[in-house]
Amino acid sequence: GNSVTQMEGPVTLSEEAFLTINCTYTATGYPSLFWYVQYPGEGLQLLLKATKADDKGSNKGFEATYRKETTSFHLEKGSVQVSDSAVYFCALKAGTASKLTFGTGTRLQVTL
Amino acid sequence: NAGVMQNPRHLVRRRGQEARLRCSPMKGHSHVYWYRQLPEEGLKFMVYLQKENIIDESGMPKERFSAEFPKEGPSILRIQQVVRGDSAAYFCASSSVERGNTEAFFGQGTRLTVV
């Protein structure tokens, strides 16, 4: 079946540090890949997506590249801010008519 | 275009009562997904529905839980005879059936507390 593996948190960084959150997946076919972010007490918001190999999704300074050869979709940001503190979820969807499969989430804490 | 609307935002039930959680998808979306999130944990898939059809219920507990998405009105997740272990945040997401349109949009969730 389909699965997503994320690095365990929490990840604690100082403001302006470089961020990487690793995500690898197992899926049949060619899934679409997503990063969602959840702020405390809120629902999930779509952060970025990529629908085919070598696509790069980007939003708000975050980036992730769909790497089919390594089945990865690592999230990166060059300079994090305190306001980026949240839980980040990697997810895949194996077709229009299928469910989203999530990783366990990685908590990011950014300090001054 | 309003987003995915869930209500209530918070729900308190005594053990043995029924909980009904509602989800109105985004306009034009005919696919609805329900997920459960326990405190400090990830999201667990429960059920995937289209209008009047259950597509995938592989994540639904065998007893006490049911879901529907009628032709008219919101999707309902129903939990009968709630127990303390049902306390969690329940999230609904919706997506469209347009070709190539793969992302799902989430509601704010319903936080169920069983006392």
Q: How far is B96 from chain A (nearest CA, A)?
A: 8
Q: Burial of B26 by CB count in 10 Å (0-12 exposed, 13-18 middle, 19+ buried)?
A: middle
Residue B100 to residue A51, Cβ atoms within 8 A: yes
Interchain CB contact of B41 with A (< 8 Å): yes
Q: Is the pLDDT of residue B17 over 70?
A: yes
Instruction: Give the pLDDT of residue B98.
Output: 67
Using pLDDT thresholds of 50, 70 and 90, give the confidence band for residue B59: very high
Average model confidence (pLDDT) for chain B?
A: 92
Q: Which segment of A25-34, A83-92, B19-28, B61-70 scores lowest on mean pLDDT?
A: A25-34
Using pLDDT thresholds of 50, 70 and 90, give the confidence band for residue A8: confident
Test the A interface: residue of B10, B102, B110, B113 with most A CBs within 10 Å: B102
Beta carbons within 8 Å of A84's beta carbon, 6+ residues apart: A19, A77, A108, A110
Paired strand residues for B95: B31
Q: Which segment of A37-51, A58-72, B80-94 scores lowest on mean pLDDT?
A: A37-51
Helix (H, G, I), strand (E, B) or coil at B57: coil
Helix (H, G, I), strand (E, B) or coil at A82: helix
Q: Which residue of A has its CA nearest to B57?
A: A99
